[in-house]
Amino acid sequence: MAREFVLDPFRAEVNLQIDYARELNAQQHAAVTATPGPALVIAGAGSGKTRTLTYRVAFLLEQGVPADRILLLTFTNKSAREMMRRVVEILGHDLASLWGGTFHSIGNRILRQHADRLGFRRDFTILDRDDAKDLLQAALDDSGIDVTATRLPKPDVIGDVFSMAANTGHTIARTLQENHPQFEDLALIMEDLRTRFIARKRAANVMDFDDLLGLWLRLLKEHEDIRDIYQRRFQFILVDEYQDTNELQGELIDLLAARHRNVMVVGDDAQSIYSWRGANFQNILEFPKRYAGARVYKIETNYRSTPEILDVANAAIATNTLQFTKELVSACKSGPKPVLAVCGDASEQAAFIAQRALQLRDEGINLNDMAVLYRSHFHAMELQFELTRRNIPFSITSGLRFFEQAHIKDVAAFLKFAANPADEISFKRMVRLLPGVGGKGADKLWNLFRTHHSQLPEGAPNPLASALQSCNPSVAKKTTVAWAQFSSTIAQIEGPTVRGKAAEMIRITLEGLYEDYLQETFANASQRLEEIIQLTHFS
């Protein structure tokens, strides 16, 4: 009688070089040594996320997974290099064959191999933001679109619209509706312009940064043989900062992981802060739904903050309705309790901070060891004044000081010119905001204005606006309408009932022309407008 035999799976014993249980805490160890399959690691702030990913890579390598079958996706090349450097230090050998880098760098690497399948040559060049803006401007120039008549925004803003649409997978119409509603009626014009822009990029054999993701995704979707190559290659996929992935990146991960489903994503839903650039935190919330049977690991031991700080953090996020619940626990010694100081207004708040900084300095704490955090740049305005008034040295690490920002200097130019008609710098700054006025044009208009202004009789009403109107015959045709609006705005702010009232002068400047200029020129126009409005409250 024939006998049937069932072969039991055999695997040689793996002799691990690393004592993972000793190097990691229990929650980190569980994630690092997870069996194959989809896994979501919720890593709270300061919980050793990088350490967990690093040891996960080392663990896979020690299990016999070839380095070139592992894909590590991060948001900065620095993060990828740091993780691979740590793995090399742990294991003691090179990892040159491991695929590690940002989404964009991996996309570039793959497109270099297959660009010809999308109508590009493999030696394509990558446009930086300025080069992309120049090419977009060239497409705009050739389109025949009357920019003035349509009130089409500047290439910077148009490029931002294209980028947001690409990264969210939304149409131009929806992107405008949600992010730039003032340009909703330009959806068809922008769609046509994007088609022209794409054609120019292909003709020039160039790609911008969004193409490195969009074309990579298109390559995988449209070419089954190429999709099959990379699905087979990447047996294990690890993703850092998953809460900050956008629609494109989420879809790329899902496509690449479709065969083996050995994907481990690491992130924290409570730290999703990049929705303004297209990040979709639903990616992390819905991961268990998209990957049936996915295991969820939580890493809740914090090595960065005191228990008192974590008590406040835990309480702050406890009310979030959409979250993976977690309770951060500190590994640090107890420290002072955070203080909630209730102030009457922004000026009182600035005075409190400055006073407290001086008190701490007197207690022996160096000013270099103190930091002030704020949500938006305009919140620092009163503080900058107060620190300066008290001779407390400070530096701004999040950009320019408040009054050094372009939009603040633009609005200030109107006020300075109204107070001092001889201010050539302010005059030229204002007129260069107008369409068709460059450096030479500003020089010419300044000389004309100065001549006309000097010829006005003493006591003439609205002398600034009158002198500006006298320049009308010399103004370029494309500038005529804007020049008339500019003259009208100056007439209002130099009026006897307004002049000297800074807040009212700023309001008139915004309504007269500058708010439209912001919307047409800056992708973050709403933030800049908020800062200018804050300036009126201070004035």
Specify the CATH number for the domain of residue 530: 1.10.486.10
499 lies in some domain: yes
Other Cβ atoms less than 10 A from the Cβ of 251: the count is 17
Other Cβ atoms less than 10 A from the Cβ of 455: the count is 10
Query: Which of 140, 170, 204 is the last residue in one of the domains?
Result: 204
Q: What residues have CB less than 8 Å from 298, skipping those under 6 apart?
A: 27, 41, 42, 44, 324, 326
Residue environment code for 323-359, b if the CB has 16+ CB neighbours within 10 A, otherwise e: bbebebebeeeeeeeeeeeeeeebeebbbebbeebee
Q: How far is CA 471 from the centre of its chain?
A: 42
Same domain, 531 and 458: yes
* Alpha carbons 192 and 476: distance in angstroms, whole number: 29
Decide: pTM greater than 0.85.
no
- 330: alpha, beta or left? (left if phi > 0; alpha if psi -120 to 50): beta
Question: 264: which DSSP letter?
Answer: E
Specify the CATH number for the domain of residue 39: 3.40.50.300
pLDDT digits (tens, 9 = 90+) for 15-45: 778 899 999 999 999 999 999 999 999 998 8
Other Cβ atoms less than 10 A from the Cβ of 364: the count is 6
Determine the residue type at 59.
Answer: F
Structure tokens that stand for 500 in this block: 């000297």
30 lies in some domain: yes
Same domain, 93 and 135: no
Same domain, 451 and 516: yes
Same domain, 276 and 175: no
Q: How far is CA 231 from the centre of its chain?
A: 30
Same domain, 240 and 219: yes
Q: Among 108, 103, 116, which Cα is nearest to 205's? A: 116
58 lies in some domain: yes
363 lies in some domain: yes
* Total tally of structural domains belonging to the chain: 4
Residue with tokens 């046509």: 192
Q: How far is CA 150 from the centre of its chain?
A: 28
Same domain, 197 and 219: no
* Alpha carbons 87 and 73: distance in angstroms, whole number: 15
Ranges in the chain, pLDDT < 50? 9-10, 12
Q: What is the Cα Rg of the chain in Å? A: 29
285 lies in some domain: yes
Q: Which domain holds residue 420?
A: 402-537
504 lies in some domain: yes
pLDDT digits (tens, 9 = 90+) for 252-265: 999 999 999 999 99
Same domain, 228 and 281: yes
Assign 505 to helix, strand or coil.
helix
Secondary structure percentages of the chain, helix, strand, coil, to 5: 60, 5, 35
CB 239 within 8 A of CB 245: yes
Same domain, 194 and 240: no
Q: For residue 4, what pLDDT is reported?
A: 65
- 194: alpha, beta or left? (left if phi > 0; alpha if psi -120 to 50): alpha
170 lies in some domain: yes
145 lies in some domain: yes
Q: Among 449, 431, 452, 450, which Cα is nearest to 440's? A: 431
The DSSP code sequence of 444-494 is HHHHHHHHHHHTSPTT-SSHHHHHHHHTGGGS-GGGHHHHHHHHHHHHHHT
Crossing angle (nearest 10°) for helices 463-470 and 480-493: 170
Structure tokens that stand for 192 in this block: 């046509």
* Alpha carbons 486 and 499: distance in angstroms, whole number: 16
